[in-house]
Amino acid sequence: MSFSHPSSNATDRLVIALGDPAGIGMEVTLKALADPRLPDGLNPLVVGCRKTLEHTYSRLKAQQCPLLIDPSDLDIDDLPVHDAITPGAPSPESGASSFRWLSHAVSRMKEERTLALVTAPIAKHAWHAAGHNYPGQTERLAELDGADQASMLFTAVAPNHGWRLNTLLATTHIPLQQVPTALSPELVLRKLDVLSAFCLRFNPKPRLLVAGLNPHAGEQGRLGSEETNWLIPALQQWQDNHPHVHLSGPLPPDTCWLSAAKAWQLGRQPESPDGILALYHDQGLIPVKLMAFDEAVNTTLGLSFLRTSPDHGTGFDIAGQGVARSTSMVAAIRAAWDLNLSRA
């Protein structure tokens, strides 16, 4: 497979930022771009260091990895690393490089009006070591795009029957003790608008679930007051304004994803949700990754462009060994392509 000849229509292109060069981002990208499951006409623009990508390719060939794209067949926007990078050893240089590549990728997207951005994983602590104090890529992307609010949604398509799991996070990269004060009726209403708009791409009458904050969703105030004080009235207000949506919640968090798990295994059921709103990071990502670790895609909504990313991290513990699975990167690339088609 070769992507070396740029398309005459830039809006058909994906931009791929290679992530932390000390991690597995380059490896999973080289593997994913050789995968036959990718759509025809993909024509990606890869942003990163050509020399490091070529070294990664040579190492993977020596490790006898069977399915790889040759970097010579790629259109690479070359931004070299300034210091030596060791696989598995994040550093200020690896953080600076991944930050620079992400920022430049957004610039190229805006210049060429490309289809979507796919980002390989970065390490937040490496960004911080390089002087870039962002909670993650989502927040940097929102800043670059001038977006007031960006939302983090995880979407996955079940490989056996095509049912789609969608979980949106109301809060993202903040300490757990800050979650109750970060949540508000206004935030939940806004996130329900985002989740509903996404799910309407696939179902004109979506079914949405909202997880409670406390055990047993507060059990009528006995295990926490947030549900009774403001969450239940906020959900009722939103439901009244959106009669075409079936909204349930707040549900006990320990059972909120059970209907989704059944649909993931068996396909859509009458009670299957089209989307679930989680109130904090691990509440949503534990069930998503238990069900769909290889298939889930981190999707940023609320930007002027679509961004997707694998749902795993940098994999420093396995970097350089040739054993990283590219399934989630394939899913991220396919999602960027497919979701743009559904948006159109």
pLDDT surpasses 70 at 3: no
What burial class does residue 186 get, using C-beta atoms within 10 Å of its C-beta: 0-12 exposed, 13-18 middle, 19+ buried? exposed
Question: Could you report the per-residue pLDDT of 254-311, keeping only the tens digit for each?
Answer: 999 999 999 999 999 999 999 999 999 999 999 999 999 989 999 999 999 999 999 8
Return the percentage of the chain with pLDDT > 90, whole number.
Answer: 87
Category of 322 on φ-ψ map: left (φ > 0), alpha (ψ -120 to 50) or beta = left
Across the beta sheet with 207-211, the strand order is: 75-78, 45-48, 14-17, 116-119, 306-310, 297-301, 151-157, 164-169, 275-278, 207-211, 246-251
Q: Is the dihedral of CA 185, 190, 193, 197 positive or negative?
A: negative
What is the β-pairing status of strands 45-48 and 207-211?
unpaired
Residue 222 predicted with pLDDT over 50: yes
Number of residues in the chain:
344
Q: Express each pLDDT in 252-263 by its tens digit.
A: 999 999 999 999
Is the Cβ–Cβ distance between 299 and 288 less than 8 Å? no
pLDDT over 90 (residue 4):
no
Alpha carbon 124 to chain centroid distance? Answer: 15
Strand, coil or helix: 228: helix
| Cα 269 to Cα 287: distance, rounded to the nearest angstrom | 18
Q: Quick one: pLDDT at residue 343?
A: 58
Q: Which two tokens stand for residue 218?
A: 């507060």
Q: Provide φ and ψ at 16, rounded to 5°.
A: -120, 120
Residues linked to residue 15 through DSSP beta bridges, in sequence order: 45, 117
Cα separation, 134 vs 140, whole angstroms: 7
> Could you tell me which of 273, 280, 249 has the C-alpha nearest to residue 166?
273
Q: Which domains are seen in the chain, by residue range? A: 1-150+302-344 (3.40.718.10), 151-298 (3.40.718.10)
Q: How far apart are CA 218 and CA 210, in angstroms?
A: 13
Q: How far is CA 264 from CA 55, 141, 160, 188, 271, in A?
A: 39, 31, 9, 26, 12
Residue with tokens 């961004």: 307
Phi, psi of 194 (to 5 degrees): -65, -45
In the three-class reduction of DSSP (H, G, I as helix; E, B as strand; rest coil), residue 275 is classed as: strand
**Which is more confidently placed, 161 or 43?**
161
pLDDT at residue 6 tops 90: no
Please give the mean pLDDT across all residues of the chain: 93
User: Which residues, at least 6 apart from 302, have a Cβ–Cβ distance to it below 8 Å?
Assistant: 142, 147, 149, 150, 151, 194
Is the bond preceding 250 in cis, omega lying within 30 degrees of 0?
A: yes
Model pTM above 0.75: yes
**Structure-block tokens of residue 175:** 């300490």
